[in-house]
């Protein structure tokens, strides 16, 4: 049994964007019993160990997996797109969007899947009780609404919720011939082939399988937000793709896992997006220039501005010098505000006085850290497999530097 008092969720709506009188523009934040979360943690630890030992979670899943991240999956996706683009092979990528993914999990279907992976007996009964008779109430300014029964979805704000969702969506990859990548409910599928007919047949077949899976397990895909990205040089090499009887429209760019991918594998839109956000934040920082100490300004810069420069920088580091300099100038402006320096101050002196390094140097260090993890096997296998083989594995005779890697073609 899971105590009924621990099943009550207090939901607080947080405004995201748009009109404030529309409920759809709010994000529900669910607060659950802390004591209940302790029990959930005990169960979650053992269930996850069982899944890991038996390799039940698909390697295509990166969400909520220790050692994996959005950045590492983006490195793999972008590498595949660039490889096909450089070789002249047409690559097509479909990015799916599941409507209210965590709220639409079918409880009976989830219990069927739990039983199928080997969770049975008392633990399965416990999960059945854990999912049923859950209640929620909305709290606004200290006032509570009436309790409402929750009939579907994994408990938001819970410890077990993300793991249960991974189990529920795990078999979406079955019999898919294209390269499919999952990050929780963010799903992408891509395929690079020179023959347009074969590529279209495979991808259309995979799209039908995903559509059939969605109907079987009562998952709703948002057709409007499902995007197609064609990385091609010749438009004649593309045949139409259909999902839920709707022909997917090609888009020149798509934002996936926080970065904007373009069909020409460039970064103009993504860098401009970073610059737009940082410009606004630097203006806010400038307004506090004479009211806060240098230490406080530096903390604000590191906490709210620098992460925009750093996120997924190992992926988009091959941007043009013009775009790189655009971000570097914003970085220097932030440093001048922190130090109270004026325009015209030597860039070298600004870096020395502040202790910051250039963004280019930061990206270089981040790439070295990622490469170190790939070489030493402390990152997902799909990343380590991208490394070229060692020279010593190609040539049986002794070499002076056997740990060198073969130069990629």
Higher-confidence residue of 203 and 222: namely: 203
pLDDT given at position 17: 85
133: alpha, beta or left? (left if phi > 0; alpha if psi -120 to 50): left
pLDDT in the model for residue 371: 94
Neighbours of 324 (CB within 10 A): 19
pLDDT tens for 56-68 read 999 999 999 999 9
Q: What confidence score (pLDDT) does residue 103 get?
A: 87
Mean pLDDT of 2-13: 93
Site of tokens 């797109």: 81
Q: For residue range 359-370, what is the model confidence (pLDDT) as tens digits?
A: 999 999 999 999
pLDDT of residue 409: 63
Q: How far apart are CA 185 and CA 226, in angstroms?
A: 13
Question: What is the C-alpha radius of gyration for the chain, rounded to an integer number of angstroms?
Answer: 25
**Do the beta carbons of residue 59 and residue 381 sit within 8 Å?**
yes
Beta bridge mates, 12: 29
Average pLDDT, the chain: 92
> Can you tell me the mean pLDDT for 160-177?
95
For residue 161, count CB atoms less than 10 angstroms from its CB and return exposed for 0-12, middle for 13-18, buried for 19 or more: buried
Say which range, 249-263, 354-368, 378-392, has the weakest mean pLDDT. Answer: 378-392
Task: Look at residue 25 in the predicted model and tell me its pLDDT.
Answer: 87
- pLDDT bin (cut points 50, 70, 90) of residue 235 is low
> Using H for helix, E for strand and C for coil, what is the string for 5-24?
HHHEEEEEEEECCCCCCCHH
């Amino acid at each position: 049994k899971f105590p009924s008092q621990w099943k009550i969720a207090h939901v607080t709506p947080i405004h995201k964007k748009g009109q404030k009188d529309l409920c759809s523009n709010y994000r529900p934040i669910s607060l659950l019993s802390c004591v209940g979360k302790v029990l959930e943690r005990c169960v979650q630890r053992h269930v996850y160990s069982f899944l890991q030992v038996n390799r039940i979670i698909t390697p295509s899943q990166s969400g909520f997996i220790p050692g994996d991240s959005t950045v590492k999956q983006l490195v793999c996706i972008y590498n595949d797109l660039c490889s096909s683009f450089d070789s002249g092979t047409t690559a097509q990528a479909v990015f799916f969007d599941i409507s209210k993914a965590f709220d639409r999990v079918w409880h009976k279907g989830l219990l069927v899947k739990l039983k199928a992976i080997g969770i049975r007996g008392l633990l399965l009964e416990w999960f059945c009780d854990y999912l049923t008779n859950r209640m929620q109430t909305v709290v606004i300014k200290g006032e509570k609404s009436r309790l409402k029964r929750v009939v579907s979805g994994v408990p938001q704000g819970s410890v077990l919720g993300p793991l249960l969702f991974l189990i529920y969506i795990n078999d979406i990859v079955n019999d898919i011939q294209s390269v499919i990548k999952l990050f929780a409910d963010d799903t992408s599928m891509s395929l690079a082939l020179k023959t347009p007919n074969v590529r279209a047949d495979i991808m259309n077949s995979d799209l039908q399988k995903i559509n059939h899976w969605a109907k079987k397990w009562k998952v709703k895909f948002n057709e409007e937000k499902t995007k197609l990205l064609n990385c091609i040089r010749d438009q004649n090499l593309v045949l139409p793709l259909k999902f839920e009887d709707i022909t997917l429209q090609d888009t020149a760019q798509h934002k996936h896992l926080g970065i904007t991918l373009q069909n020409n594998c460039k970064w103009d839109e993504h860098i401009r997006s970073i610059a737009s956000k940082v410009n606004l934040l630097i203006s806010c920082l400038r307004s506090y220039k004479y009211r806060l100490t240098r230490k406080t300004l530096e903390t604000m810069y590191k906490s709210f501005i620098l992460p925009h420069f750093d996120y997924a920088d190992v992926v988009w580091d091959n941007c043009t010098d013009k775009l790189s300099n655009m971000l570097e100038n914003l970085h220097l402006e932030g440093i001048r505000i922190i130090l109270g320096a004026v325009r015209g101050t030597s860039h070298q002196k600004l870096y020395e006085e502040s202790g910051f390094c250039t963004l280019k140097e930061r990206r270089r260090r981040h790439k070295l850290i990622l490469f170190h993890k790939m070489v030493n096997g402390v990152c997902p296998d799909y990343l380590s497999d991208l490394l070229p083989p060692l020279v010593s594995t190609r040539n049986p005779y002794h070499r002076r530097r056997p740990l060198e890697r073969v130069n990629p073609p």
